[in-house]
Chains A and B, each alone.
Chain A
Amino acid sequence: MAFLDYYNVLGLDKSASQDDIKKAYRKRARKYHPDLNPNDDEAKKKFQEINEANEVLTDPEKRKKYDQYGENWKHGEEHQKAQQQYSRQGRGGTQNPFEGFDFDYSGNYDTGEYSDFFEQMFGSRFGGGRKSAFRGQDLNAEINLTLKEASTTHQRTFTVNGKNIRITIPAGTQNGQKIRLKGQGTAGANGGPKGDLYITFTVAADPRFQRKGDDLYTKLELDLYTALLGGNAIVNSLDGQISVKIKPETQNGTKIRLKEKGLPVYKQEGKFGDLYAEITIKNPKNLSEEEKNLFQQLSDLRK
């Protein structure tokens, strides 16, 4: 690793006070923190440098060593030997200039993981194997939602085992999805832990739509003339009716994709599935003699 001028990294000079260092660190951390600069490797690198600079400069002992050896750290070994020799001559001690430096490059910005501390606290409790003979019973409850209800984030209050539970149901909840409320089951025996409460969501089928993940499928009946000549048709979506353009000579079974008119994606605000409308062409019935003749003429034209 190349030498890093920690003072330069924090925009300070060597006479900076602890307060100056703290202020400079916070200011730069806010600018380069990887949380605030997603997918930016430059910012990540910069943040590591800032962290490292802060760690060294806020520790009086480390700062002293850094100030003493500075950019000559690469020659630490030679320096150490010299120091040892010096020591053998009976004066002073010896120390690796960077011994005791404990840089923490990782920070705590990998949002996909919990901190070690948290894992230590909760890890074993989240794991399986807790079902001892003395554990309380788990309880199960079911919440029924219509497809429309499953498409919006909303609050629901219900009672399980005499307890009122208020819960936010996020938009895009899937049929069969479960939540577990730890320790909300029945009490354990002989001081054993309480059981859990499992809530299962059942999303009722909607006769108008078929759900495939976040996408919705619906049928669109078209009269023969619109299918042949083109025009407009109305498609039912969860939020109401949408007018769509039909191309001339549209075939039976054609699917029209209405982008982002499906269900919201679970816990991904602003993202939606698509709505597909499958066209079924409806032929006219009870044709008059005149209509029959005209269709015959059309048929003859194709021969």
Chain B
Amino acid sequence: MERTLVKIIDVCRSYRIESTFVRDLHENGLIELVSVEEEEFIDEEELGQLEQYSTWHYDLELNLQGIEVVRHLLNRIEQLQFELRKLEGHTK
């Protein structure tokens, strides 16, 4: 298994988002960043997540606290849906 890390500066440029937004997400524990000297990187696997948060923030106008709440509730929904599928499988 291999992970690739991409420079935040490149990601911000391509998504047209502010690096402060990415750092705020990191500080709120919503994404992981890796520091090498002064440079910051993000795991390629987390780009989908970052893109999603960017949509929520820039398109749906959710602030960081809102993103955090939504993330938490979505995790909960996904877990409940998973359990529901499992239970449905048992009853069949």
Chain A residues with CB under 8 Å of chain B are: 26, 29-30, 33, 35-36, 38-39, 108-109, 111-115, 117-118, 121-122, 126, 163-168, 170, 174, 176-184, 267, 269-270
Contacts and interface: CB of A to CB of B under 8 A. Distances in A.
A199 to B, nearest CB: 9
From DSSP, what is the main secondary structure of chain B's interface residues? helix
B4 A180 contact: yes
A108 to B, nearest CB: 6
B45 A121 contact: no
B61 interface: yes
Contacts of A168: 32, 34
A29 B36 contact: no
7 contacts: A35-B55, A36-B74, A38-B78, A164-B36, A179-B2, A179-B43, A181-B5
B60 A26 contact: yes
Given A30-B61, A108-B59, A179-B5, 13 more contacts: A29-B59, A118-B15, A121-B14, A122-B14, A163-B36, A166-B34, A167-B34, A177-B3, A180-B4, A181-B34, A182-B6, A184-B36, A269-B75
Given A163-B37, A168-B34, A178 B14 contact: no
Nearest to B82: A271
Contacts of B19: none
Interface residues of B, number: 38
A179 B3 CA distance: 4
Identify the interface centre among A113, A174, A181, A269: most chain B CB within 10 Å of its CB. Answer: A181
A30 B62 contact: yes
A178 B43 CA distance: 12
Contacts of B44: 126
B28 interface: no
A287 B40 CA distance: 68
A121 B34 CA distance: 21
Contacts, number: 97
Contact of A35 (B47, B52, B75): B52
B51 interface: yes
Nearest to B41: A181
Interface string B43-73: 1110111011001100111100000001000
A62 to B, nearest CB: 20
Contacts of A269: 75
Given A179-B3, A180-B4, A111 B52 contact: yes
Contact of A118 (B14, B74, B77, B81): B14
Given A35-B52, A35-B56, A111-B52, A122 B6 contact: yes
B36 to A, nearest CB: 5
A66 B7 CA distance: 45
Given A168-B34, A180-B3, A109 B55 contact: yes
